[in-house]
């Protein structure tokens, strides 16, 4: 059965997350249903990462196995047709080797988190940003972020229901920048690692927001990290500002 890699964009608001669920809508379920319209059988796809309810994607990657050979462009076009009206789009499709795996072949994952910094309620960006009405100190947040880069035991920034075997991960990058967004000033967090713990990025951002607000100092972030205690974490920020931005592979199937 030929295998295809899919690059996927989606708005997470209508879904209970990526993973298929029996009684709630999911991104995986929507794509598998579209695949069943093309080849009438049960389909199971695998993704590079499972996003939570309300989390978006700019470049999620999954793979599917088809019974017949499809032209990749025609497969992506057919899937986009059958995915309507779900806010899910197949951006690219490529045939890959049978051993290629969207999750296990990946060598890095990149996340983006958006904060909208303004007092007036968000309209166009509602549900796509975390809105903060008070000013934030980006320089202080970057100082706090620098404490987290490297190989650490991230127990403090790990959900209590995380299923990872170890809390030790290597964070390759955590960059904080202020940009001028469509609806006003935004603060973007660019986060990169091979893999992440459950709620790790949202725990980072919620903690760093406290630094930006002046409630915490950058040194407090190091103390929280070294505590290796979930109770030492700052507030976990909401999911709707988080985007799975990109997944990296040794040989990009979409190049």
| Per-residue pLDDT reduced to its tens digit, 83-95 | 999 999 999 999 9
Label residue 255 exposed, middle or buried (CB < 10 Å: 0-12, 13-18, 19+).
exposed
Q: What is the mean pLDDT of the chain?
A: 97
Domain residues of the chain, as ranges? Answer: 3-105, 108-246
Alpha helices in 39-146 (DSSP H): 72-83, 138-146
Q: What is the pLDDT of residue 8?
A: 98
- CATH fold of 108-246 reads Alpha-Beta Plaits (3.30.70)
Mean pLDDT for 2-16 is 97
Q: What is the pLDDT of residue 63?
A: 98
Q: What is the pLDDT of residue 11?
A: 98
C-alpha–C-alpha distance, residues 205 and 111, integer Å: 11
- Indicate if the pLDDT at residue 163 is higher than 90: no
pTM: 0.96
C-alpha–C-alpha distance, residues 35 and 11, integer Å: 19
Structure confidence at residue 182 as a pLDDT band (50, 70, 90): confident
**Which CATH architecture does the domain made up of 3-105 adopt?**
2-Layer Sandwich (3.30)
Catalytically annotated residue among 52, 65, 146, 172: 52
Please determine whether the domains at 3-105 and 108-246 fall in the same fold group of CATH: yes
- What is the residue whose two structure tokens read 């009684």? 23
pLDDT, tens only, 204-240: 999 999 999 999 999 999 999 999 999 999 999 999 9
125 catalytic? Reply is: no
Kindly state the greatest CA–CA separation across the chain.
58
- Indicate if the pLDDT at residue 243 is higher than 90: yes
C-alpha–C-alpha distance, residues 239 and 128, integer Å: 9
Q: What is the pLDDT of residue 22?
A: 87
Asked if residue 190 lies in contact with residue 243, where contact means CB atoms within 8 angstroms, the answer is no
C-alpha–C-alpha distance, residues 144 and 39, integer Å: 50
- Residue 117: strand pairing partners: 132
Structure confidence at residue 181 as a pLDDT band (50, 70, 90): confident
Give the distance, in angstroms, between the CA of residue 236 and the centroid of all CA atoms in the same chain.
15
């Amino acid at each position: 059965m030929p295998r295809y890699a899919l690059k996927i964009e989606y708005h997470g608001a209508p879904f209970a997350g990526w993973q298929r669920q029996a009684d709630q809508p999911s991104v995986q379920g929507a794509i598998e249903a579209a695949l069943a319209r093309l080849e009438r059988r049960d389909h199971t796809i695998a993704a590079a990462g499972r996003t939570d309810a309300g989390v978006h994607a700019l470049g999620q990657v999954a793979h599917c196995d088809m019974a017949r050979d499809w032209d990749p462009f025609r497969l992506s076009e057919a899937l986009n047709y059958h995915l309507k009206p779900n806010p899910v789009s197949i951006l690219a499709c490529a045939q890959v080797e049978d051993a290629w795996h969207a999750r296990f072949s990946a060598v890095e994952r990149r996340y983006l988190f958006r904060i909208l910094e303004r007092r007036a309620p968000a309209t166009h960006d509602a549900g796509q940003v975390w809105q903060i009405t008070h000013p934030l100190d980006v320089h202080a947040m970057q100082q706090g972020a620098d404490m987290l880069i490297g190989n650490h035991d991230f127990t403090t920034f790990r959900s209590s229901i995380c299923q990872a075997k170890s809390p030790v991960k290597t964070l390759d990058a955590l960059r904080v920048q202020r940009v001028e967004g469509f609806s006003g000033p935004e603060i973007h967090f660019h986060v990169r690692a091979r893999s992440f713990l459950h709620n790790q990025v949202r725990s980072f951002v919620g903690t760093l927001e406290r630094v930006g607000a002046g409630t915490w100092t950058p040194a407090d972030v190091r103390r929280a990290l070294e505590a290796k205690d979930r109770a030492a974490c700052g507030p976990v920020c909401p999911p709707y500002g988080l985007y799975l931005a990109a997944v990296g592979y040794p040989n990009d199937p979409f190049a």
